[in-house]
Structure 1
C-alpha cells in the first residue's frame, strides 16, 4: 500500500481530528480506489506520528478503534480487512506492520466472530507471521514483536493449521521462542511472558504429531518436545513459567494446554527430569490443590480432573520425584482417598476416576510397604485406596489420545468449589 499523502500536524489534537476525518470517509460500494486512498491516509498519518502520539498500547488501541468504529470500516468491513491482510503479507516497514497487526487483532476481538481469522487463514498468513516474528528487525521492536505473537496465537487457536503452516514451525522458530522467554525480565507479570509461552503451547503443533504417532501414522515432528530434549538445560525459564501459569490460570482451555504440554514432557525420557526439583514440588502442590478444588458434580470439572490425573501418573513414574526422598507421598495418597470417597449415594465416583487413580497408585513407590513408618493409620489409608478392583491401569497409546482429545472453548472458566461456595 504505497503512501501518497504527507502531513504536517502541529499538535496531538490535530492528529486525532485528522484521524477522525479519515475514518469517517464515506464511500459507495465498489469505489475501491477511494477506500484504498482512505486506508493509505490512515496508515500514513498513524505511522508518521507514531513516535509522537502512539507510544503506548492504549494509544495504539485507541487509534485502531477509531477505524473499527468509523463509517469507512462499518460500510466496507470485508474489503478493509482484506486490504489490511495484503498489507501484512507485503509490507516490511515496522510502524506499518504494527498498525496493521493491531487492527487485525483488535478487529477479531471486537467482531464477536472469526471472520478476520478465517480470512487470514484463507490468505495463508501463518507462515508470514512466523517469518516476521523470526525477523531481526521485528525482534528489535519489542512492542511490535509482542503484537505479532499475540496475533499469531489468537489466529492459530481458532483456525486449523494446514500442513504448510505446520511446516513453517521449524526447530529454529521454537528455539527462538524459548530464547525470548529465557531473555525477558524475571518479573513474572511482564506482559511479554504470556503471549510467548502461549504461542509455544499452541495445541496444533504441540499435540498433532504426538496424536499421529500414537495412531500409527507418520506426522510432523513435535518441535517443542524435540527442542526441550536437546536444549532443555539452556531453557529452564519456560518450565518455571509453565508451572506459574498453571497455578494462576482460571481459563479451562489454557489449563488444558499446559497440562498437555506437561504430559508429553513427563512421558518423554529425555524431558522427564527437565524441571528443577523445587519447581517439581510446586507442581505437585498445584495439582493436589486443583484436584481438591474441582467440584464433584460438574462434567467440565470431571474432564479437567481426569486430565490432571493422567498428567500426574508420568510425573510420579518418570520424574525425579520417583527417587527418594519421595515428595508428599502421604499427601498424595490422602488426595487419592478423597477422590475415591467424593461420590454420593446418587452420584458414585465415575469409573474413569477410579481407573486413573489406580494407575497412579500402581507406581511402585506409591505402594505401601512393611518399611512404612507412618503408622497403622497411613497403612490403612493406603490399603483402602489401593484396594480397588479396576480393569487396566497401564500407560498406553490410548492415554496419549485421551489427553490430546480434551478441549474447551476459549474464555470458559475452570469450575471451583471455592467459587461455588461464594454464590
Structure 2
C-alpha cells in the first residue's frame, strides 16, 4: 500500500483522535476503504517511535481498528487487504502494525477465520522468510510478534506439504540458537514465542507423518527432532525450558504440545538421554504430580492422562531413569497402582488407562518384588503386582511406522503405531484450562 496522505500531529491526544476518525470511517466503495487503510498505516507507522513504544500501545492501536466502523462493516475485505500488505511490504514499522492486527484479530474473533484466510493466501512461507530476515531480526519486538503470529496461526490448522518444505534444518537450528542465546530468565520475552513455534512445528510434523504414512505417500522428516538428535548437546536450554513450561502450564493444548515433543524425544535412540539427569528427575516429579492432580470426570482429562502415561513409558524404558539408582521407584509404582484402583481418588477406571499402566509396569526395572508389592497395596489388599505384564517390544511393521513418523530410527521398546496415532491425533482447543483436583 502506497502512502498518499501526510500528517502533522502535535501531541499524543491528536494521534489517538486521528486514529478514531480514520477507523470510524463509513464507506462502501473499495477505493475509499483502501484510502482509509492507507491513512491508518500512515499515521501508525509515522508516529510509531513516538506513541507506539510498548506492546500495550500497539495493542491499543490495533483494537482501535478492530472495534471501529471501518473494519466491522467490511471485515473480510479489510482482513484480506491487511494480509496482502504482510505479503508485500518490507518496511519494519508497517510489518509490525499489520502483524499485530492479524494476531489480535485472530485471537479475538473466536472463529479462526483470520488464520484460515492467512493459510489460504499462503502466509506461512512469508512468515518463515520474515522471521529469518536479518532486517527483521534487528527489531526484537517485530520479530517476537511474527513468532507469535506463526504459532497462533499454525496450531489451529494443518500446514500444507509446501508450507512444511519451507522449513529447513537451518531455520530450526536458528530458533534453537535464539533459545541458547537469550538470558537464563524464564520470563525473558523471547522464551515463550520461540519455544512455542518449535512445539507447533513438531506437532505439524507428527500429524503430517501419520497422514502421509496412512495414505502411502511416503515419509516426512521431523526437523525439530532431527536437530536435537544431531545437535542435542549444543541445545540443552530448550529441554530445560520444556520442563519449566510443563511444570507451570495450565492450558491443556500447550501441555499436549510439550508432551508430544517429549514422547518423540524419549522414543528415539539418539535423544532418549537428551536431558540432564537432574532435569529428568524434575520432569518425572512433574509428570507424577500432574497425573495425580487430574480429576477423572471428563473425556478431556482422561485423554490428557493417557498422553502423560504414553510419555511416561519411554521415559521409564529408555532414559537414564532405567539405570540404577532408579529414581523414585516406589513412588512411581504407588502412583501407577492408584491410577488403576477404584474407590480412592479416581472414578471407575477406563480400559485405556489400565492398558497404559500395564505398559509402564512392564518396564523391567519396575517389575515387582514382594516388598514393593506390599508397600504398593491399597487398603483392600489389592497390589500392583497383580497386573499382568505386557510386551514392550515392537514388531517390524510397528518399528517401520515409528521410523517414518520420526524421520529416523527408533529403538526397540517404542510404543505401537496405535499409540503414535493417538499421540498425534489428540488435541484441545486453545485457551481451555486443565482442571485440577486441588481446585474442586
The TM-score normalised by the length of structure 2 is 0.89
Residue 249 of structure 1, CA deviation: 1.0
Answer with 379-388 or 67-76: which moved more.
Answer: 379-388
Answer with 409-418 or 121-130: which moved more.
Answer: 409-418
Answer yes or no: is 1:7 the counterpart of 2:46.
no
Which residue, out of 195, 206, 210, partners 2:193? 195
Query: Aligned equivalents of 1:32 and 1:214: distance in 2?
Result: 46
Residue 158 (structure 1) aligns with: 156
Residue 204 of structure 1, CA deviation: 4.1
Residue 392 of structure 1, CA deviation: 5.5
Which residue, out of 137, 140, 143, partners 2:141? 143
Residue 271 (structure 1) aligns with: 271
Query: Aligned equivalents of 2:373 and 2:152: distance in 1?
Result: 53
Residue 110 of structure 1, CA deviation: 2.0
Query: Aligned equivalents of 1:211 and 1:404: distance in 2?
Result: 7
Answer with 112-121 or 86-95: which moved more.
Answer: 112-121
Residue 352 of structure 1, CA deviation: 1.5
Aligned residues: 415
Answer yes or no: is 1:183 the counterpart of 2:181.
yes
Residue 241 of structure 1, CA deviation: 0.7
Conserved in 1, the CA contact under 8 Å of 2:359 and 2:390? no
Answer yes or no: is 1:246 the counterpart of 2:246.
yes
Residue 72 of structure 1, CA deviation: 1.3
Deviations 1:229-279 (A, max 9, x none): 011111111101101111111111111111111000000011100011111
Residue 158 of structure 1, CA deviation: 1.8
Conserved in 2, the CA contact under 8 Å of 1:236 and 1:275? yes
Query: Aligned equivalents of 2:348 and 2:71: distance in 1?
Result: 55
Query: Aligned equivalents of 1:7 and 1:417: distance in 2?
Result: 57
Query: Aligned equivalents of 2:299 and 2:390: distance in 1?
Result: 23
Answer yes or no: is 1:65 the counterpart of 2:63.
yes
Query: Aligned equivalents of 1:160 and 1:65: distance in 2?
Result: 28
Residue 347 of structure 1, CA deviation: 5.3
Gaps of 5+ in 1: none
Residues 1:214 and 1:368: Cα distance change in structure 2 (over 3 Å): farther
Residue 403 (structure 1) aligns with: 423
Residue 365 (structure 2) aligns with: 365
Residue 204 (structure 2) aligns with: 205
Answer yes or no: is 1:34 the counterpart of 2:32.
yes
Conserved in 2, the CA contact under 8 Å of 1:160 and 1:204? no
Which residue, out of 80, 83, 88, partners 2:81? 83
Query: Aligned equivalents of 1:43 and 1:207: distance in 2?
Result: 39
Deviations 1:275-298 (A, max 9, x none): 111110000000100111111333
Secondary structure of the corresponding residue to residue 232 of structure 1: helix
Query: Aligned equivalents of 2:212 and 2:386: distance in 1?
Result: 35
The TM-score normalised by the length of structure 1 is 0.93
Conserved in 2, the CA contact under 8 Å of 1:23 and 1:70? yes
Residue 416 of structure 1, CA deviation: 1.6
What does 1:245-394 correspond to in 2, within 5 Å?
A: 245-343=245-343, 348-369=348-369, 377-378=374-375, 384-389=383-388, 394=393
Conserved in 2, the CA contact under 8 Å of 1:22 and 1:41? yes
Query: Aligned equivalents of 1:115 and 1:233: distance in 2?
Result: 41
Query: Aligned equivalents of 2:271 and 2:373: distance in 1?
Result: 37
CA RMSD in angstroms, aligned pairs only: 2.2
Residue 108 (structure 2) aligns with: 110
Residue 214 of structure 1, CA deviation: 6.3
Secondary structure of the corresponding residue to residue 201 of structure 1: helix
Residue 379 of structure 1, CA deviation: 7.8
Query: Aligned equivalents of 2:114 and 2:421: distance in 1?
Result: 31
Deviations 1:84-128 (A, max 9, x none): 101000000000000000011111222222221121111110100
Gaps of 5+ in 2: 394-414
Query: Aligned equivalents of 1:351 and 1:238: distance in 2?
Result: 35
